[in-house]
Structure 1
Amino acid sequence: MELEQDRELIDDVMKVCLLAGKLMLMSGAETYRVEDTMIRIAAAYGMDQSHSYVTPTGIIFSLEGLETTETKLIRIVERSTDLKQVTVVNSISRQISGGEMTVSQAYERLKEVEQKRQTFSLPIQTVAAAVIGGCFVIMFQGNWHDFIPAFLAGGVGFYSFMSIHKVIEIKFFAEFLASVFIGLLANVFVLTGIGQELDKIIIGSVMPLVPGLLITNAVRDLMAGHLVSGLSKGAEAFLTAFAIGSGIAVVFTIM
């Protein structure tokens, strides 16, 4: 009877830990943060013997009970940047560590977070990307005359990236085509006299596509000793940068 209760508790705790880790990893959290959160949740429920191994594409988690040990693996296919969701899961983790939630309550709360849409709608994201594109022109010492061209090119580029990515699941091609659209629009604006400095417009417009968080997490994971995650995230960031650069290079070749 005690063994069955132990197995049931281990199974429930593992569900909570894996779901929390999955939500954080899919939202762009660092590898070390995901592992630390899972171990802390397990320890809060009396499971001090826990082990987690996290990569950008999967999570392996193991819990040791009185007479049994269980190990589970989950696959991570989709990853995005949603720092709000990371913050929400971190908040739930702190409540668990403070003894404010039972295992069942924590699982239900995490399921609510998974089902609830945390990200902003596509129109809002597009407007934000457009504003970012225009502001980066000013940051790179451009003139205000190029703010509107960068605003429009950045918004169109980000919208096209999101739209193409829904059709073509390979992120590289979506980023490549989006950068092509940005390069074409920037050239059109300059040729028609709407824009002045082509380089500033292009640089500002592609900034919403630049993998800044990915690069930061890659360096952080490497410094923390997570070599597999650090190198894989670095490779992904390199491919993204290569896709953006290739798209702009193609435009310069044909224009």
Structure 2
Amino acid sequence: MTDLLENEEKIKDVVMLAARILLEAGAEGTRVEDTMTYISSACGYKSSNSFVTNTVITYLLHNGTHPRIYRIQTRDTNLIRISETNRVSRHIVEGKITLDEAWDKLKYINERIDDHPLPFKAFAGGMVGLSFLYLQGGLLIDVPTAILAGGIGYFITEYLSQKIEAQFIPEFIGSFIIALLAAFGHMLVPSGELSIIIISAVMPIVPGVLITNAIQDMFGGHMLMSITKLLEALVTAFGIGAGVATVLIFL
């Protein structure tokens, strides 16, 4: 009996850690719940139940055991963690690793696999701004401004997101800085297109992944999670627009 209880607790630990990593890394609710179900079924518990929202994971292994609840504090986009956690889940289902090995691998993913360095992400943000400048038919003379505004704006947004607990403020400040840099670059080179520069430079901080996940959750029947994500994306977009509008008003 004691061994059975210990095994159940180990299953709960593995399932909850996998779900936590996925949700904190920006995975959609459908993926998280499916992963929890797959692991439980592979361990012999096909009647498990799970319910996931943006901020809470609820899990019940079976009706005769205590449920687990975990509150999600931070969320980001980290596709590496999602991919590695999915790999661990598949290996459990295929019987290639034990629960102890899965636990060690998940702990490694959670503690050791970090995102790319912030300067590298800022550089990538500048390249995203350059790409959208090209897609919108921007002028060659606007390239330096779009790269600098996109890279610096993304750097500031990500840095503030790590330091400030409040949501949407980093996006407001980041878009404000982006609009300032774009306006300053346009003043130095007035032959460019200010609107195209601003639109291109704010693209790296637009919540595109959040909107995509909300649509996927809607198709998967997770209406509550879909609505909350859409609202979060809407308010984030409002913060970005407010930051840009604040600069444009005073030009």
Q: Name the TM-score, length of structure 2 as normaliser.
A: 0.97
User: What secondary structure sits across from 1:53 in the alignment?
Assistant: strand
User: Distance between the aligned counterparts of 1:216 and 1:165, measured in 2?
Assistant: 21
Q: State the 1:148 CA deviation.
A: 1.2
Partner residue in 2 for 1:18:
16
Partner residue in 2 for 1:116:
112
Aligned ranges for residues 119-198 of structure 1 at < 5 Å? 119-193=115-189, 196-198=192-194
Partner residue in 2 for 1:86:
82
Cα 1:203–1:195 change in 2 (3 A) is farther
Q: State the 1:135 CA deviation.
A: 1.4
User: Distance between the aligned counterparts of 2:3 and 2:218, measured in 1?
Assistant: 40
Partner residue in 2 for 1:240:
236
User: Distance between the aligned counterparts of 1:195 and 1:95, measured in 2?
Assistant: 57
Cα 1:112–1:143 change in 2 (3 A) is same
User: Distance between the aligned counterparts of 1:119 and 1:208, measured in 2?
Assistant: 16
Q: State the 1:195 CA deviation.
A: 6.3
Write out per-residue CA displacement over residues 95-145 of structure 1, whole angstroms, 9 at most, x where no aligned residue: 000001111111111001111133110110010001111111011111221
User: Distance between the aligned counterparts of 2:154 and 2:160, measured in 1?
Assistant: 10
User: Distance between the aligned counterparts of 1:136 and 1:160, measured in 2?
Assistant: 20
What is the one-letter code of the residue matched to 1:44?
A
What is the one-letter code of the residue matched to 1:189?
G
Q: Which runs of 4+ in 1 moved over 6 A?
A: none
User: Distance between the aligned counterparts of 1:43 and 1:19, measured in 2?
Assistant: 16
Are the counterparts in 2 of residues 149 and 195 from structure 1 also a CA contact under 8 Å?
A: no
Cα 1:228–1:195 change in 2 (3 A) is farther
User: Distance between the aligned counterparts of 1:230 and 1:201, measured in 2?
Assistant: 31
Partner residue in 2 for 1:31:
29
Are the counterparts in 1 of residues 81 and 113 from structure 2 also a CA contact under 8 Å?
A: no
Partner residue in 1 for 2:93:
97
1:199 corresponds to 2:187: no
Write out per-residue CA displacement over residues 211-240 of structure 1, whole angstroms, 9 at most, x where no aligned residue: 111001111111211111000100110011
Q: State the 1:194 CA deviation.
A: 6.6
Are the counterparts in 2 of residues 126 and 158 from structure 1 also a CA contact under 8 Å?
A: yes
Q: State the 1:171 CA deviation.
A: 2.7
In structure 2, stretches of 5+ residues that fail to align are none
Q: Among all aligned residue pairs of Structure 1 and Structure 2, give the percentage whose two residues are the same amino acid.
A: 37
Partner residue in 2 for 1:231:
227
1:42 corresponds to 2:40: yes
Write out per-residue CA displacement over residues 75-100 of structure 1, whole angstroms, 9 at most, x where no aligned residue: 10100000111010001100000001
